[in-house]
Amino acid sequence: MTSRERFLASILFGHPDRVTLEPGGGRKSTRERWLREGMPETAVANPAEYAYRLAGGTLPWPESGEGFPVEERMRPQFEEKVLERKADSQIVQDWKGNVCEIGNEFTVDYLRNAIDFVTRRWIRCPVETRKDWEAMKARYQSADPARLPADAAARGQRLRNRSHLVEWHFSGPFWQLREWLGFEQLCMLFVDDPDWIRDMITFWENYIAGLLEHALVHMTPDMVHFSEDMAYKNFSMISPAMTREFLLPTYRRWGEIVRSHNVPIYAMDSDGFIGELIPIWIDAGIQVCDPMEVAAGNDILAFRREFGRKMAFRGGVDKRAIAKGGTVIEAEIARLEPLIRDGGFIPGCDHGVPADVSWAGFVRYTGLLAKATGWL
């Protein structure tokens, strides 16, 4: 099987030759620790493959290849700049127009790209008034040809018979409104000014729908994946009733577009406990959830019993167990083996691999995961 065929069979309850291997990877602080502990510089670009080789793996690593990027970010973007420097921190403006306080060990680039986890204090978000909102809308034009590759038609043709996976990632409505408004103001406006919230959601729904329609003219990806991050440790950030009222129509419309173009997978990402959101996402036609954080109370074995094959999962390996290693990670992989055998599950770290995971621990975990998924 090609990497593409294997992934689709693994997540869509098919019959893969072996389940896709996705141990996960670390951000900057994690990789720096691994380098100190013996990972060679040559492995920084792909620690998982090197760990698999150290664990005894000999099979070809999954293919990667040309992608088809679709740019959803605002155009033009705000100027990234430092507004004030303090003894131990700095006040900065990021590319989204947010003003926040971060440590002096970071640069503004850390807020643009997922270089590492950055604690920040929010000071001001770019949309505070209706006037701000009208100005913000001008930055999102789905028909802008620069949002697709310059060679979109030719690239689409080249990718028709690809052997590797091509995914498109977009922000969901809750995620995007939080980027504009900030978390507190967003939650308050659901109650205080629901009409404004509906206006913003409808705008974002239409914008993403336009992007999808323009891009799908040229090619069909294997997965369209949305990010929401709309749950705490025990509950969703807004109630299931609010989610159904405000967000479900958008999820359904996007799902109709995805299915009408024969995209195999419609997926959703959210940190936190998503048990009360999964039924809503199933109603929207969403087929896959990730990263299934164990510390937030997500029990994917229980979810499988409750929802059957209406929902597949990626992730679900407790990052705390990876850090503890030994018999703890052995028991964690053993816990998940029934779901691996049942299908519709690609196991991996339930978020970015944190810096409390040692290099030896990551290699051990990767080996156990490789054995459970048929790679060893």
DSSP line for 253-315 = HHHHHHHHTT-SEEEEE--S--TTTHHHHHHTT--EEE---TTTT--HHHHHHHHGGG-EEEE
pLDDT for res 83: 97
140-165 average pLDDT score? 97
Chain segment 277-309, per-residue pLDDT in tens? 999 999 999 999 999 999 999 999 999 999 999
- Whether the bond into 47 is cis, omega within 30 of 0: no
Domains and CATH numbers, the chain: 3-73+127-372 (3.20.20.210), 79-125 (no CATH)
DSSP per residue, 115-168: SS----EEEE-S--SHHHHHHHHTT--TT-GGGS-TTHHHHHHHTTT-SS--EE
Unique residue bearing structure tokens 């013996």 = 38
Identity of the amino acid at 260: S
Chain segment 157-210, per-residue pLDDT in tens? 999 999 999 999 999 999 999 999 999 999 999 999 999 999 999 999 999 999
330, with CB counted inside 10 A (0-12, 13-18, 19+), is: middle
> What distance separates the 2 farthest-apart alpha carbons in the chain?
60
pLDDT for res 273: 98
Give the integer Cα–Cα distance in Å for 7 and 5.
6
Its pTM stands at: 0.95
**Average pLDDT taken over every residue of the chain:** 97
25-54 average pLDDT score? 96
pLDDT range class, residue 77, cuts 50, 70, 90: very high
Closest CA to 230 of 250, 215, 211, 214: 250
Q: Percent of the chain, pLDDT > 90?
A: 96
Residue 313 has pLDDT above 90, yes or no: yes
* Cα Rg of the chain, angstroms: 21
Contact 355, 36 (CB under 8 A): no
Chain segment 57-76, per-residue pLDDT in tens? 999 998 889 999 999 999 99
- Whether the bond into 76 is cis, omega within 30 of 0: yes
351-376 average pLDDT score? 97
pLDDT for res 361: 97
Residue 114 has pLDDT above 90, yes or no: no
Contact 88, 104 (CB under 8 A): yes
Chain segment 216-258, per-residue pLDDT in tens? 999 999 999 999 999 999 999 999 999 999 999 999 999 999 9
30-49 average pLDDT score? 96
Closest CA to 168 of 263, 256, 250: 263
Q: How far is CA 223 from CA 145, 250, 263, 288, in A?
A: 22, 18, 6, 10
Contact 37, 356 (CB under 8 A): no
pLDDT for res 323: 97
353-361 average pLDDT score? 96
Residue 8 has pLDDT above 90, yes or no: yes
